[in-house]
Amino acid sequence: MKEIRAGGPKLKSHLIGQTLVEGPKALFPPKTMDGYGWLEPDLALHWRTDGWRTLRSVLVYTDASMNRNRGFLEPVIRVATWHRSRDLAREGTWPHVELIFGRPKDWPVVRRISKALHEEVGKLPFVPYGLSKCRGAATVRTAAPSASFMMKTGNGVQWLEFGSPALRDDPLTTAVRKSMDDLAEMSAPFDPTGWTERYGSQVGIMTLTEWTIGACLLGDWSPPIRMQPRRAVRGERRGSKNLETRRKNAPISREF
């Protein structure tokens, strides 16, 4: 906690921006559309340029409603782009993250894109090395300009998460980059007003559990939400277990 406080607005901007690019754990449509169901990411692709100057992600959310056997919610493709270096050069805490929510233009095409990616996953470019007690690392042939990627995907019964520097002449590196571009192209943007993103994660000393989108997010975005960390009450010591627990339950104020 003390390290995060010492970092000030720029560190908070990094933590918040990174969380938004990583994406929520669940999406909830407006109750007027569906008062019961929600969607969770079945595929998450992340790309970071050298030095984390730009972070980009493409997530495909599908229906995860419990006990639902028909009337499934339509998938959502969420594309996030954050030019981190620009934000850290400016004053202010909130990062300017571009978010685009879309419906798949052609679901069979989206399935083909994801299956082609799965085929490359079966040939992961993982270099055997073993554990090291002195921060040793395997040797890989990185691409230029340098970048890194992370992917999470599943087939309904198996799940896999893999991260790596972008590698030279590597089919998976190429497939991840191409899949991100293809999925973004297959997304038909819609106005996400009224949708709710649920994170349930700690962002610095602030708790971001969920927020309801109150304005169209197509384009540069400053979130309609202000975090309000709880002040310590008399008798509580800073850093005490009681205070830390209460901070996790800090109230959230929404501004629309």
The model's pLDDT over 209-254, given as tens digits with 9 standing for 90+, comes to 566 665 333 333 344 433 333 344 444 444 444 333 333 333 332 2
Residue with tokens 């690392």: 137
Q: What is the pLDDT of residue 95?
A: 81
Annotated domain spans of the chain? 2-103+188-254
Nearest to 49 by CA among 148, 133, 119: 148
Residues in the chain: 256
pLDDT score for 210: 63
Beta carbons within 10 angstroms of residue 250's beta carbon = 17
pLDDT in tens, 65-120: 988 888 899 999 999 999 888 877 776 667 888 999 999 999 999 999 999 999 99
- What pTM did the predictor assign? 0.76
